[in-house]
Structure 1
Amino acid sequence: MELRKEILLLKIEYYREELIKVGKNQGFAHSETIRLSQNLDKLIVKYQKLLN
């Protein structure tokens, strides 16, 4: 379980960094930025479920 949490945290951090980078370069309404944001949201929800 702990390994899964660690992996999810690494993925969350990766998507967060990518989201910021793409958002700054392409704009926050760009389709790639929105896709990254949605993926990040899904990962955060998975992580929160593991905490409960």
Structure 2
Amino acid sequence: MTTKLDQLIERIEELRQELNRLSRNKDLADPELLTASRMMDAVLNEYNRLLIDKAKE
């Protein structure tokens, strides 16, 4: 069974690869690249919150 933490790590890797791909072909101010970056930020924030919650347990 995959844990929430494992799922987030997989999603982070997917988004990292997507950002790398987009950054090769797009200007850094391109809306598609900015959207992908915001998605990465949201997932990283969720990952950090989960780690903090686990540390409190």
What's the TM-score once normalised by structure 2's chain length? 0.83
Is 1:45 aligned to 2:45, yes or no? yes
- Partners of 2:5 and 2:22 in 1: how far apart? 25
**Matching residue's letter, 1:36:** A
Indicate the structure (1 or 2) with the bigger Cα radius of gyration: 2
Structure 1 letter corresponding to 2:38: Q
Provide structure 2 residue ranges, at least 5 long, that are not aligned to the other structure. Answer: 53-57
Counting only pairs closer than 5 Å after superposition, residues 1-52 of structure 1 correspond to structure 2 as 3-52=3-52
Percent identity between the two aligned chains: 27
Per-residue Cα deviation, 1:20-48 (whole angstroms, up to 9, x for no partner): 10111122211100000000000000000
Moved over 6 A (4+): none
The Cα of 1:14 is off from its aligned counterpart by 0.4
Instruction: Please provide the CA RMSD for this pair.
Output: 1.1
